[in-house]
Amino acid sequence: KADGSAVDVHRHLGGLFPTLRSEGFLCDILLKVKENEFPAHKSLLACSSDYFRAMFKSYTQESKASVIHLQVVSPTGLQHVLDFIYTSLLPLSFESLEDTLEAASYLQVTDAIGLCNQYLVNNLTLENCCFSANVARKFYLPDVLAATEKYIISNFWKLLDLDFTGLLQLNFRSLLAVVKSPDLPRVKETCLLNFVLMWLKQDSSRLDHRSSLLEHIRYGLIPVEDLRKIYTQSEMPLTAGIKCLIIKAINYHTSVYKQPVLQDKSTTLRNQKTRIILLGGGRANEGLVTDVVAFDVYNHRWRALTHVQDRVQNHSVCVVGNFLYVLGGEIEDVTNKVHRYDPRFNRWTQVTGMLEKRCQFSSCVLGNSICAIGGRGENGLLHSSVEVYDISRDRWRKATELPCKIHGHAGAICKNTIYISGGKCTGQASTSKDVYSLSSLEEQWVKQAPMSIARFGHQMATIREAIFTFLGLYEPFSEIERYDPDQNQWTRLRPLTYDRFCYGLVVVEETALLIGGKKCLLNGTNITLDQEFYTNVNTRFVIHVDLNIGLLKMGYRKATLLYNCAKSAKHLQSECHNITRKEGRKIKIKEGK
């Protein structure tokens, strides 16, 4: 009531029933568990428990009984549930939690079950998370189970460093959630496999689960020596299906050059992170460098990643199967070397070199092949040649030549067609506006509508089935163009904020990122230390960055996109900040999936 009398009655009854219970006054039912007796009031039990409400219906035998024997619950559990019914207070601890849940579930006291849920979720630790998962599985607490399994997955690497006792008692379904998870941070696949084998050997009844667990191990991430040992010396009999997975992984490891085209779930790191890789070129005060750095797109952090073997510039890069290929460029002289980087294991491999030595050329990926197009060779001679790298065979072959010898051009793939633009051809004093396309490696190059601006040393990017050309060498007006392949038409867009050249470019989530480079000034060139993001919907924003890595002095410093970068203990102390738009509104970078 508005005057508060209803509240007073509730408080009065809440204090009255515990008093009546403690005095044994008006108790009309006796609950017995083994030798333990619990006097109670039918009316209150029926109000609080669906089990007792159904039991005390007039048509049941128990409705007229004065003593009820409860065979399932424990004395401790019943005591706690009765305390809750009478006082609304539920005493909880991990020691008595199972007894309490068992009684609350059996007697259908839903409010008590809800409090147990909260207690388990709010008190998760490394020491009790496995116990909590087992309890949640036993009593079917889906919210608790989801929270505990998420906690175990996130902290599995920590749990492996603790006493295995708790982990080895983890129920099958929760362990299955762990081995199936794509987000298992800091856990080597070998360690995960060893733990699963240890868990299976704990109890012979668990062997029924071996296929269900072992089929989710990513054997392609386990060293081949360990795979052979498991295959030949395993203490546990392996099923034919698991043996096939191990043999497949061994074949993967021995097919070194084919690995980029053999990638699947079993060879992909868990807990993938998107990184932009910056390599080659030079710093403002150091000249050409060998260090390779990685940029976290979503946390705006640079960190040291690896080193290239040679100081290189005017090279080209591309990614196949999340392997990074570095092609050609200038070391001291023009080179045809090709190196491949595996970010999973921080490993470099030199593959077969190109047929021609090239720098200032373009490369692209068409299907499972890498195409190297044009460029400048030894003694300044230009190439019209195009060559294709067959990854499966580690072999280069000639393809249809360009109509002219050209270098300093840019290339992109759009709708499975290669496009190149600009550059400078042999015998021409000025740069070119020309655009050529190649829809099949066996066909001829086709001339398309030219750009409105002649460009050299520029970059191209494909976004939403349109091609964007970004500024090149000495373009002070910083203009951008967009090409529609269906209409064979170019459109000028709003210019970038700053001119630049010799920069790196990569596309992340339909946004082009321009990184580093040189800036044109009236008295020469100067280093620029910002990144510019340019999208295809006529909006743009600039992130001013103190990179702390002094980009860039000379030559091209290439940027490319990779996942699964191997972790390094050393982080560069640099950070992006001040995200703005021309209109002054803030833009938040969307978190990756």
286-310 pLDDT, tens per residue? 788 999 999 988 788 889 999 999 9
Write down which residue in 123, 155, 182 finishes a domain: 123
Main-chain phi, psi angles of 104, to 5 degrees = -65, -40
- pLDDT confidence of 533, banded at 50, 70, 90? low
pLDDT in tens, 344-364: 999 999 999 999 999 999 999
Give me the pLDDT at residue 286, please: 76
Structural domain harbouring 420: 274-581
Residue 188 lies in a domain: no
- Residue pair 303/566 in contact (Cβ under 8 Å)? The answer is no
Closest to 330 in 3D by CA, of 374, 375, 389, 364: 375
Give me the pLDDT at residue 212, please: 97
Give me the pLDDT at residue 576, please: 30
Overall pTM > 0.85: no
CA atoms within 13 A on the CB side of 192: 29
Rg (CA), the chain: 34
Residue 378 lies in a domain: yes
Mean pLDDT (whole number) for 83-101: 92
| CB-neighbour burial class of residue 157 (10 A; exposed 0-12, middle 13-18, buried 19+) | middle
Write down which residue in 80, 106, 123 finishes a domain: 123
Beta bridge partners of 524: 521
Beta bridge partners of 39: 30
Does residue 7 surpass a pLDDT of 90?
Answer: no
Does residue 404 surpass a pLDDT of 60?
Answer: yes
Give me the pLDDT at residue 540, please: 46
- pLDDT confidence of 558, banded at 50, 70, 90? low
- pLDDT confidence of 21, banded at 50, 70, 90? low
CA quadruple 153, 562, 389, 466: dihedral positive or negative?
Answer: positive
- pLDDT confidence of 478, banded at 50, 70, 90? confident
Q: What is the mean pLDDT of the chain?
A: 85
pLDDT in tens, 499-522: 888 888 999 888 888 888 887 665
Does residue 5 surpass a pLDDT of 70?
Answer: no
Reading across the β-sheet that carries 480-484, which strands appear in turn? Answer: 459-463, 466-470, 480-484, 489-493
Does residue 568 surpass a pLDDT of 80?
Answer: no
pLDDT in tens, 161-205: 988 889 999 999 999 999 999 999 999 999 999 999 999 999 999
We report the CATH number of the domain holding residue 61 as 3.30.710.10
- pLDDT confidence of 86, banded at 50, 70, 90? confident
Give me the pLDDT at residue 258, please: 97
Mean pLDDT (whole number) for 91-115: 95
Q: Lowest-pLDDT range, 45-54, 367-376, 547-556?
A: 547-556
Main-chain phi, psi angles of 266, to 5 degrees = -70, -10
Give me the pLDDT at residue 16, please: 66
DSSP character string of 510-576:
TEEEEE--EEEETTEEEE--EEEEEETTS-EEEEEEE-SS-B-SSS--EEEEEESPPP-S-EEEEEE
Residue 203 lies in a domain: no
Does residue 574 surpass a pLDDT of 70?
Answer: no
CA atoms within 13 A on the CB side of 372: 33
Residue 208 lies in a domain: no
- pLDDT confidence of 579, banded at 50, 70, 90? very low
- pLDDT confidence of 557, banded at 50, 70, 90? low
Mean pLDDT (whole number) for 464-470: 94
Give me the pLDDT at residue 173, please: 98
Give me the pLDDT at residue 330, please: 96
Give me the pLDDT at residue 470, please: 93
Does residue 549 surpass a pLDDT of 60?
Answer: no
Token couple for 488: 């064979």
We report the CATH number of the domain holding residue 453 as 2.120.10.80
pLDDT in tens, 217-229: 999 999 999 999 9
Write down which residue in 123, 148, 182 finishes a domain: 123
52-80 exposure pattern, b = at least 16 Cβ within 10 A, e = fewer? beebbeeeeeeeeeeebebeebbbbbbbb
Give me the pLDDT at residue 320, please: 96
pLDDT in tens, 129-151: 999 999 999 999 999 999 999 99
pLDDT over 90, % of the chain = 62
Give me the pLDDT at residue 524, please: 56
- pLDDT confidence of 30, banded at 50, 70, 90? confident
Question: What span, in angstroms and rounded, lies between the C-alpha atoms of 460 and 506?
Answer: 9
| 548 vs 253, residue with greater confidence | 253
- CA distances 397 to 128, 221, 350, 356, 419, Å, are 60, 31, 18, 11, 20
- Residue pair 449/488 in contact (Cβ under 8 Å)? The answer is yes
Mean pLDDT (whole number) for 79-105: 93
- pLDDT confidence of 566, banded at 50, 70, 90? very low
Mean pLDDT (whole number) for 327-332: 95
> E strands within 249-332?
274-279, 282-283, 287-288, 291-296, 301-307, 316-320, 323-327
- CA distances 564 to 12, 182, 415, 439, 557, Å, are 64, 12, 27, 32, 21
3-class secondary structure, 240: helix
- pLDDT confidence of 573, banded at 50, 70, 90? very low
Does residue 8 surpass a pLDDT of 50?
Answer: no
Number of domains in the chain: 2
pLDDT in tens, 231-242: 999 989 999 999
Q: Provide CB contacts within 8 A for 314, sequence distance 6+.
A: 329, 330, 359, 360, 376, 555, 556
| 563 vs 16, residue with greater confidence | 16
| 354 vs 26, residue with greater confidence | 354
Return the residue matching tokens 């299906």: 241
Does residue 564 surpass a pLDDT of 70?
Answer: no
